[in-house]
Amino acid sequence: MLKITTVSGQGIPVKGNDIDTDQIIPARYLKVVTFAGIGKFAFKDVRFDDNGSELDHPFNDKRFAAAQILVVNDNFGCGSSREHAPQALKDHGITAIIGESFAEIFAGNCTSIGIPTATLPPDIIESIQQRIEENPDAELRLDLEQSSFSVDQDVFECSFKPPFRAALISGMWDTTAALLSNNTLIQQTMDNLPYIAFSKKE
């Protein structure tokens, strides 16, 4: 199982408080069989107008095309519990999210697919967003073991939900992989369960 201890790359700032999951991925795009390709719908309704023309949004800005770390503000991911929201961001290329705060279920859904969510004070988040806008090539680095976030040479102490951080560092965030790696124990448990046999009545 993959242990996630550091994430680094370029950043992309998406400003605004209370950005909900319907804005991250509109409901009409939830009818998918797999999550493959869902990234193209991320922020669709705030990226394009009714005629399909691009609006002014960071996800349309070519300067941030290779960005991996999303920097957001307060209560990001609020609204519904749809797991499609972090899946859309992941498919778009986002590997970590830094913000002022996150909706609890959204942060949990991010953790379950290997996306760390870390928090920093509002003034620091705003300054980081400004720096990224001025220098899209700035190197960002999230260190889960040290609970730190850096922008070029500047290092800040960040916070994680302890269970989410522990799951990512230990590699236990992927529950499917955890089950598959313990197949023998699963079989033993199944063999010891007290099944009740029912006979079909004539």
In this predicted model, what pLDDT tens digit does every residue of 159-201 receive, in sequence order? 999 999 999 999 998 766 665 666 777 777 777 888 766 665 5
Give the up-direction half-sphere exposure of residue 114: CA atoms within 13 A in the CB hemisphere. Answer: 18
Q: Which domains does the chain have, with CATH numbers?
A: 6-173 (3.20.19.10)
SS3 89: helix
In this predicted model, what pLDDT tens digit does every residue of 79-133 receive, in sequence order? 989 999 999 999 999 999 999 999 999 999 999 999 999 999 999 999 999 999 9
Neighbour-count burial of 201, counting CB atoms closer than 10 A to its CB (0-12 exposed, 13-18 middle, 19+ buried): exposed
68 with 95: CB under 8 angstroms? Answer: yes
Residue-level pLDDT at 194: 80
44: confidence class by pLDDT, cuts 50, 70, 90: very high
76 with 115: CB under 8 angstroms? Answer: no
CA triple 74-94-2, angle to 5 deg = 110
Its pTM stands at 0.86
Neighbour-count burial of 103, counting CB atoms closer than 10 A to its CB (0-12 exposed, 13-18 middle, 19+ buried): buried
Structure tokens at 31: 């009818």
